[in-house]
Amino acid sequence: MADDEGPALYEIRRHASGPCVSNYPPQQVAEAPGGSLLSLISGVSRLKQRWNEYREPRKPKRLISLFVSPSGEHVAVAVGNRITILRRKDDYREPCGIFINRSFCTFTAGAWSDYHDVLGVADDSETLYFIKSNGDEIGRIMRRNLRVPLPIISLIAPDDHDMQKSSLCGFTVVTCDGSLQHIEICQDSTASVSSTQYSNNSSTLKGQLHDIICLDYHPKLFLLAVVGRDVGGLSLSKGNSGSYLLSFWHRKATSDLEHLYSTEFKGVYSLPKGYQCHQSYPKVLISPRGTLAAALDVTGEMHIFRRDTQGLSLVNSSLGGRSEVQELLSGILDFTWWSDHVLTLAKRGGVTTMIDVKNGLRVKDSDPAYSISVLQRVQEVEGHLFLIDMTPSDNSAINREKNGSYIVEQITECNFDQFDPSRLQWSLISFSEKSIQEMYRILIFNKKYEAAMEFAHHHGLDRDEVMKSQWLHSDQGKHAIQNFLIMITDQDFVLSQCVEKVGSTEDAAKALLEHGLRLTDQYVFSKSEDGNRAIWDRRMTRLQLLQYMDRLETFMGINMGRFSVQEYVKFRDMPLNDAAVKLAESGKIGALNLLFKRHPYSLIPFMLEILSAIPETVPVQTYKQLLPGSRPPANIVLREEDWVECEKMVNFIQKLPMDDETAVKFKTEHIVKQCLAYGWLPADEILSWYKKRAIDIDSFSGQLDSCLCLVDIGRSIGINALQHFYEDISYLNQLIYTDDGDLNLSLSLVAWEDLSDYEKFKMMLRGVKVETVIERLHNKAMPFLQNRLHGAALFSEDKVESFLVRWLTEIALENKLDLCLVVIDEGCRDFGHNCFFKDEVEAVDSALQCIYRCSSTDQWSNMATILSKLPQLQ
């Protein structure tokens, strides 16, 4: 933490919480009068205890303790006989270990070995426990096994000196007579314990101090601060107050202690007989950098000392006699150092405050309030402390102060047995120092926008960050635009939001796009362009906003006014041809038609692919307006061109390395129109598409009339090359749907197209009889033949025979001279108007071939009749 004066900035975080154990401690049961011998002995013991209390008042018992590892990796919360171990990995939210003391004793002292992840604690029966971070006990030392069976004042965790001497987990135990005993414990399953007592010489506490009350060890500076009475002070009265010494010691590499200096001060460190006021737990702490020390007595009075090369001096007097300072330094339940010159105080009224020792002023205008606080800092880090907040679960045994905060009285031995901890709930809270920027971000992250705005104003910070967060956590609607977005000065952020965000309604989405368009109006082209890339980027943003606006209007149209954020977001960045294909596949012809009208230039290159996606069962008449003709549509109407959709912008875009997926976001219809060398689809591709589409319709739906309709529409809009294909389909349609029961034909269009013209001619005469052949020839076969003769000459210079002559000779081989007779008779009646034969020579030649090819011996009459029908050649 910096040494400059100013308000302390910190983040308050809540971590794990839990109830106190309901079965701790066992309630005492009052005995009936009379009693037994055991009750008599118990009474004598209580009398002896009372006499000892009278001679030497007791220190307050501690229900709650907090043990923080030097690095802050682990935190142990000791409430009653239960220790809950938490770890930094999950922000101290879930226990990684729980230890329960079955003897129902509270824990009075403890320390963490970060190197071994082991917690050493002592309870009020002077039993030592060594616990892993997962809650497993790896060792225990009873009071009777300690070489100095006196009350344990503190445990000192191993420092660098200790690590160099042994790989075992070791702790130094300090007892109230000043004895130091080093205990090492093995972490394996055997849990062997060994202890070593330091030499009893002038370099130890023992013999220098009497009745050590509390101490603190600074591992980085190897300093030990001790509050106690000197040996010469034994003659002082054993009242409730007296002279105490604060002495500083330096720990050498040999683990011996070197006395540095001491100072005498007045305080109350044991409970007077019958003392009923609020009591605090005695405590002394060295400041993080070792320049100061603070001591707290049982009445809540604090003494602050400054340490320098000349010794110790009391700071309290240098702060002056101001009543507010005296008030701050009294009525304290617990404390710890926030920084080297700032103390954090937990007051009895429930307020946790910070005081700057240099001037006696509070460093925070407003202080958080908690019911009862136990404070402990992270030793290796300034500006990071933990606090245990104990809140009652009911209103019994609770005093309400004037400020309305709760306070739970410290439990002393006189009422400890009657106290029920199940009435309390504990919570772990941390205070972490933050920089101005970090604190600003935290306020914004926690959505404390009013406080963040005040904080920004006070520290001269950019208030955009508050507005940005409010905007991002809003519905991005019209009101949010007016209240937050337009207030943000960061135009890059605003434009990015106009592009990226979509309101929950059509109006909100449109308003956001319109706001972005208004902002980009200022980047209109000028005569003196300086080539500033940032300006070109804003123009690109405008193009994207225009594209999204166009897509929004199209989306609402194809969805008949229904708006969906998720669907619109997908649609606006989707290639339009993909969207068109999906509409075509679903048979949404109306929506597809609208898409083509609004985005013709984007869709024309994919037109045939899109139309092919329409299900073959959909009637052709429903999408005839989409079918391609010989020329592009003449009635293309687009919205009014924007200033940014000009040739300069087109040239700029064409120079950019941009894939198709990115280009979709910027290429509006006006840009596409200018980027493409606009032409129409090639005629051969259109022709092939019509033919393939007709075949597909017939193959998948069997609707030959739809095929005929499709090709007919194609002819009507200029695809003249479809005429021959149209006639082929017409002939097949006539054959399949004829009233002639003799035909009974089932043939697909693709099979029909695979037939030669002669095979199609034969197919038209399939199954004819003498009674129907002439009608079939006049109605179907001969028109087909004449059509083919008109379209392409069937007779070469070698005078290849006609389809009819060929067919007659083939049926003559089948001995069907009766059919030949009828056809020849009809063909020879009027050569001028009858188109059966080319001329008389062809008729005679055809008749003779029929007669010669017939092998039946019973056809003489038909042969004679055929000959009689032939014309007389000159």
Helices (H), 429-505: 436-445, 449-459, 464-472, 478-483, 491-500
If pLDDT is split at 50, 70 and 90, which confidence band does 448 have? very high
* Separation of alpha carbons 179 and 281, rounded Å: 22
User: 260, 250 in Cβ contact below 8 A?
Assistant: yes
641: DSSP letter: P
CA 167 to chain centre: 45
If pLDDT is split at 50, 70 and 90, which confidence band does 681 have? very high
Question: Residue 105 pLDDT more than 90?
Answer: no
pLDDT at 755: 87
Mean pLDDT across 358-372: 75
Mean pLDDT of the residues in the chain: 83
User: 486, 471 in Cβ contact below 8 A?
Assistant: no
Q: Is the peptide bond before 60 cis (omega within 30 degrees of 0)?
A: no
At 507 the three-state DSSP class reads helix
* Separation of alpha carbons 821 and 401, rounded Å: 131
Question: Residue 580 pLDDT more than 80?
Answer: yes
pLDDT tens digits, residue range 471-521? 999 999 999 999 999 999 999 999 999 999 999 999 999 999 999 999 999
pLDDT tens digits, residue range 250-262? 988 766 788 898 9
pTM: predicted TM-score of the whole model, two decimal places: 0.72
Q: Which residues of 725-750 are buried (b: 16+ CB within 10 A; e: fewer)?
A: bbbbbebbbbbbebebeebebeeebe
* Separation of alpha carbons 605 and 680, rounded Å: 9
Burial label, 50 (beta-carbon count in 10 A; 0-12, 13-18, 19+): exposed
Q: Averaging pLDDT over each range in 140-149, 303-312, 335-344, 790-799, which range is the top one?
A: 335-344
Question: Residue 186 pLDDT more than 60?
Answer: yes
Question: Residue 207 pLDDT more than 80?
Answer: no
Pick from 596, 438, 558, 569: nearest CA to 502: 569
- Percentage of residues of the chain with pLDDT beyond 90: 46
Pick from 602, 601, 584, 600: nearest CA to 592: 584
Within a 10 A sphere around the Cβ of 254, how many other Cβ atoms? 11
Strand partners, 833: none
Q: Give the chain's end-to-end CA distance (angstroms, integer).
A: 133
Pick from 122, 124, 20, 92: nearest CA to 408: 20
Mean pLDDT across 425-445: 93
Which is more confidently placed, 188 or 110?
110
If pLDDT is split at 50, 70 and 90, which confidence band does 57 have? very low
269's tokens: 């460190």
pLDDT at 359: 84
Strand partners, 98: 84
pLDDT at 818: 87
Pick from 300, 276, 408: nearest CA to 350: 408
Burial label, 799 (beta-carbon count in 10 A; 0-12, 13-18, 19+): exposed
Residues sharing a CB contact under 8 Å with residue 45, sequence separation 6 or more, in sequence order: none
Question: Residue 799 pLDDT more than 70?
Answer: no
Which is more confidently placed, 89 or 657?
89
* Separation of alpha carbons 846 and 843, rounded Å: 5
User: 105, 81 in Cβ contact below 8 A?
Assistant: yes
pLDDT tens digits, residue range 616-647? 999 999 999 999 999 988 888 899 999 999 99
Mean pLDDT across 34-46: 46
Which is more confidently placed, 436 or 843?
436
pLDDT at 521: 94
pLDDT tens digits, residue range 712-741? 999 999 999 999 899 888 888 888 876 565
If pLDDT is split at 50, 70 and 90, which confidence band does 742 have? low
Pick from 348, 350, 352: nearest CA to 362: 352
pLDDT at 746: 76
Question: Residue 148 pLDDT more than 80?
Answer: no
| Complete DSSP assignment for 575-612 | -HHHHHHHHHHTT-HHHHHHHHHHSHHHHGGGHHHHHH
Question: Residue 100 pLDDT more than 50?
Answer: yes
Mean pLDDT across 534-552: 95
Which is more confidently placed, 231 or 454?
454
If pLDDT is split at 50, 70 and 90, which confidence band does 422 have? low
326's tokens: 């005296």
* Separation of alpha carbons 617 and 63, rounded Å: 84
* Domain range summary for the chain, segments of one domain joined by +: 1-24+315-434, 442-518, 533-681, 769-874
pLDDT at 393: 64
pLDDT at 30: 36
At 237 the three-state DSSP class reads coil
Residues sharing a CB contact under 8 Å with residue 72, sequence separation 6 or more, in sequence order: 88, 378, 380, 381, 384
If pLDDT is split at 50, 70 and 90, which confidence band does 759 have? confident
Helices (H), 388-448: 413-416, 436-445
pLDDT at 533: 86
Amino acid found at 350: G
pLDDT at 366: 63
Amino acid found at 571: F
Strand partners, 184: 170, 194
Strand partners, 77: 66, 84
Q: Averaging pLDDT over each range in 129-143, 370-384, 837-851, 860-874, which range is the top one?
A: 129-143
**What are all long-range contacts of 287-293, with beta carbons under 8 Å and residues at least 24 apart?**
287/337, 287/339, 287/340, 287/341, 288/337, 288/339, 288/340, 288/377, 288/382, 289/340, 290/218, 290/221, 290/223, 291/340, 291/341, 292/337, 292/340, 292/341, 292/357, 293/216, 293/225, 293/246, 293/248
pLDDT at 798: 38
User: 550, 572 in Cβ contact below 8 A?
Assistant: no
If pLDDT is split at 50, 70 and 90, which confidence band does 365 have? low
From 61-75, 126-140, 843-857, the region with the lowest mean pLDDT:
843-857
